[in-house]
Amino acid sequence: MTDSAFHSIETWLAAHAPRILHVSLNPGASEEALAALEKVLGRPLPDDYKALYRWHNGLDEEAENFGNFVYGLSFLPLEEVTANFHSRTQNTEAVPLEHTTAEVRADHVLNPYWLSLGFDGSHAWLYVDLDPTPAGTYGQVIFLDEVEETAFLVADSVTSLLTGFAQDLQQGRYSLNPDALEEDDNEFLAPDFTIDLVNWYTARRWQSVPRL
């Protein structure tokens, strides 16, 4: 299923945002890099997570096109994932969250086993969760809003996340940000307001998330 999602995503990007596909996305990560992250974590990486990074090792923020990825967030390369893990392990004092769904642990906003996947550059993160509650699934994808002190389940796996991304692209739920095109000639994805994860509290897709 992941290969099918990759193909659909590539097809859409080639037609609508070729600079993201050919300029912004890094080449795939090596097996050595994946093994090194797994060794640092001391926990296995989900197969679909490894497949994602074999496909592309995140985005190059220094590229001529400042692009983005699923839900309009960045897509962090393994080097940044590893650095974030090390940084979070230094914060030994647990800071609990105010609101989570049943699948997501609420005991520490800086849980080191939430692997950083996407970021909005401000306060919103997409993580692959290697430390779920008993109600959750190892390798599930969660969203954290630091300002609202809220985290919730987005997809039960990386495969589900990518499949949903491919479907949303094909169904016209993404467009190119016109300001980025006009001002900097950047191809930058803008998710439809009905699925916008950063603005989850107003987006129709996330209505089932408990409100504050």
Give the pLDDT confidence of 122-173 residue by residue, as tens digits.
999 999 999 999 999 999 999 999 999 999 999 999 999 999 999 999 999 9
- Domain-embedded: residue 212: no
175 closest CA partner among 161, 162, 192: 192
Residue 60 near residue 75, CB atoms below 8 Å: no
- Domain-embedded: residue 211: no
- Domain-embedded: residue 35: yes
Between residues 133 and 1, which one has the greater pLDDT? Answer: 133
Tens of pLDDT along 11-37? 999 999 999 999 999 999 999 999 999
- Tokens 């050595």: give the residue: 32
* Number of separate domains in the chain: 1
Residue 76 near residue 117, CB atoms below 8 Å: yes
Residue 130 near residue 116, CB atoms below 8 Å: no
- Domain-embedded: residue 87: yes
- Domain-embedded: residue 175: yes
> In this predicted structure, what is the pLDDT of residue 3?
86
Q: Identify the domain containing residue 48 by its residue range.
A: 2-206
Residue 167 near residue 195, CB atoms below 8 Å: no
What is the CATH number for 148? 3.40.1580.10
Is it the case that residue 183 has pLDDT exceeding 90? no
- What is the chain's mean pLDDT, rounded? 95
CA distance linking residue 184 with residue 187, whole number of Å: 9
Percent residues over pLDDT 90 in the chain: 89
Enumerate residues 6+ apart whose C-beta is below 8 A from 144. Answer: 97, 109, 114, 124, 125, 127, 150, 151
CA distance linking residue 25 with residue 31, whole number of Å: 18
Count how many residues are written for the chain. 212
CA distance linking residue 110 with residue 89, whole number of Å: 8
Residue 166 near residue 9, CB atoms below 8 Å: yes
Give mean pLDDT, residues 69-73: 98
- Domain-embedded: residue 141: yes
Enumerate residues 6+ apart whose C-beta is below 8 A from 29. Answer: 53, 54, 57, 77, 78
CA distance linking residue 76 with residue 198, whole number of Å: 17
> In this predicted structure, what is the pLDDT of residue 182?
86
